[in-house]
Amino acid sequence: MDDLVAGLLAGKVRPLAKAITVVENDRPGKRELLKKIYPQTGNAYLLGITGPPGAGKSTLTDKVIVKLRQQGKTVGVIAVDPSSPFSGGAILGDRIRMQQHALDDGVFIRSMATRSHLGGLSKSAVDVIHLMDAAGKDVIIIETVGVGQDEVDIVRIAKTTVVVMVPGLGDSVQIAKAGVMEIADVFAVNKADRDGSDKLISELRAMLDMVKNKEKPEIFRTIAVDDTGIDELVQGIYAHGDRVLETGLLRKKIVEIAESELRAYLLDTIMERSTNMASYEDVVKRVADKKITPMDGVDEIFIGLGLQKQN
Partner 1 sequence: MDKKIKVLVAKPGLDGHDRGAKVVSRALRDAGMEVIYTGIRQTPEQIVATAVQEDVDSIGLSCLSGAHNKLFPKVVDLLKEKGAEDVLVFGGGIIPDEDIPGLKEAGIAEIFLPGTSTEDTIAFIKNNVTQA
Interaction site with partner 1 (CB under 8 A): 13-14, 17-18, 20-21, 25-26, 83-84, 86-93, 95-96, 99, 102-103, 108-111, 113, 115, 117
Q: What is the DSSP letter of 158?
A: S
Instruction: Using the minimum distance from each CB to partner 1, give the nearer residue, 128 or 223.
Output: 128
Q: Is 224 exposed, middle or buried (0-12, 13-18, 19+ CB in 10 A)?
A: buried
**Dist. CA 132–CA 147, nearest whole Å:** 24
**Dist. CA 244–CA 253, nearest whole Å:** 9
Instruction: Using the minimum distance from each CB to partner 1, give the nearer residue, 73 or 115.
Output: 115
Q: What is the smallest separation between the CB atom of 157 and partner 1, expressed in angstroms?
A: 22
Instruction: Using the minimum distance from each CB to partner 1, give the nearer residue, 26 or 182.
Output: 26
Q: What is the smallest separation between the CB atom of 83 and partner 1, expressed in angstroms?
A: 8
197, 189 in Cβ contact below 8 A? Answer: yes
Instruction: Using the minimum distance from each CB to partner 1, give the nearer residue, 79 or 157.
Output: 79
Question: What is the per-residue DSSP string for 227-276?
Answer: TBTHHHHHHHHHHHHHHHHHTTHHHHHHHHHHHHHHHHHHHHHHHHHHHH
Q: Is 70 exposed, middle or buried (0-12, 13-18, 19+ CB in 10 A)?
A: exposed
Instruction: Using the minimum distance from each CB to partner 1, give the nearer residue, 19 or 181.
Output: 19
Q: What is the smallest separation between the CB atom of 167 and partner 1, expressed in angstroms?
A: 26
Instruction: Using the minimum distance from each CB to partner 1, give the nearer residue, 95 or 273.
Output: 95
Q: What is the smallest separation between the CB atom of 193 and partner 1, expressed in angstroms?
A: 24
61, 140 in Cβ contact below 8 A? Answer: no
Instruction: Using the minimum distance from each CB to partner 1, give the nearer residue, 39 or 89.
Output: 89
177, 143 in Cβ contact below 8 A? Answer: no
Q: What is the smallest separation between the CB atom of 82 and partner 1, expressed in angstroms?
A: 11
Q: What is the smallest separation between the CB atom of 177 and partner 1, expressed in angstroms?
A: 29
225, 63 in Cβ contact below 8 A? Answer: no
Q: What is the smallest separation between the CB atom of 3 and partner 1, expressed in angstroms?
A: 12
How many other CB atoms sit within 10 Å of the CB of residue 15? 19
